Chains A and B, each alone.
Chain A
Amino acid sequence: MTNLAGVPYYILEFGDELVYFTPYTITLFLLALTFTIFVLISMPERQVDIAFGGDAYTTKVISVSEMRFRRFMAIACGLASMGAMVTGDIFNFTLFTAMVGITNVGIVAAVKSPHVQNAAYQYGLVALSATVPLFGGAAIYAAATGSLSMIELAKGALPAVPFVAKAFLVLGVIGEGMAPFYAAKAEMFRAPGAPYVIMCSLSSLLIFLRVIEVVMLG
């Protein structure tokens, strides 16, 4: 198994830090790009709350300053996930993943709702502790094989990557917002502002999809 997600279409060499596109990563990249464009051009929705027992309803309006901050954070999150999709370097991948975790907290941090704030705080703690195995995994990659380049790893000429490094990398990504640690994140989606909130779940899904490709190399 040299290249699991297809033959790279294009490799942009930039010293050791290279960027490459395979059919798999380009699909993910384009999706991240599409949703980042949605964030750029769409206005947030106004969430409707029903007053039970009557016909009354209220809508939540996001103030302009709050919207600006959250839009910035969502775009940063989109850029970080795009970077994580196309990078060919394990360390850059972990950096982008950590940045996704930070921006995810940022996207909902400006919302004035105790539920959302609480969930964002808990998520922040999990994401913070998940960066330890994440960067630890990358460090073991470097120590065991002497290279962080995914292209080099895919060639199969380097020493085998220890299982623990791959496990750490996956654990770190799971901590950024996949299945068992999803509970806090689901609460974050109470926040209004669909285009921005959607970036939270999109980024963690994309990063999870990418890490599957990464751990199968080497």
Chain B
Amino acid sequence: MAGASAGITAGIVNMLGILPLWLYSAVLVLSFPVFIIGLFLWWMAKEGTEDIPFIGY
């Protein structure tokens, strides 16, 4: 959720005109992947146990 908060904060600051555009993009580039994976990790079903890779049918 750090990604989301960073992105949203940067968005608000950008609207206020304090943050330059390039820094806003940089923050988004860093926070967007973290946000996506964090979101998916948060709502995904319970983790199973580790297994070896798929080795054929």
Q: How large is the interface on A (under 10, 10 to 19, 20 to 34, 35 or more residues)?
A: under 10
Whether B53 sits at the interface, judged by CB under 8 Å, is yes
B52 x A50 contact (CB < 8 A): no
What residues of A have a CB within 8 angstroms of the CB of B52 in the complex?
A: 48, 57, 59
What's the nearest-Cβ distance from chain A to residue B30, in Å? 10
The interface residues of chain B, by DSSP majority, are classed as loop
Give the docked Cα–Cα distance between A218 and B56 (Å).
55
Whether B45 sits at the interface, judged by CB under 8 Å, is no
Whether B44 sits at the interface, judged by CB under 8 Å, is no
What residues of B have a CB within 8 angstroms of the CB of A59 in the complex?
A: 52
Give the docked Cα–Cα distance between A50 and B53 (Å).
10
What residues of B have a CB within 8 angstroms of the CB of A55 in the complex?
A: 55
Give the docked Cα–Cα distance between A101 and B50 (Å).
37
Closest B residue to A57 using CB positions: B55
What's the nearest-Cβ distance from chain A to residue B53, in Å? 5
Give the docked Cα–Cα distance between A59 and B55 (Å).
12
Chain A 43-68 near chain B by CB (<8 Å), digits 1 or 0: 00000101000010101000000000
Closest B residue to A48 using CB positions: B53
Give the docked Cα–Cα distance between A68 and B52 (Å).
25
Chain A residues at the B interface, C-beta cutoff of 8 Å:
48, 50, 55, 57, 59
Q: Can you give 8 A-B contacts (C-beta < 8 A)?
A: A48-B52, A48-B53, A48-B55, A50-B55, A50-B56, A57-B52, A57-B55, A59-B52
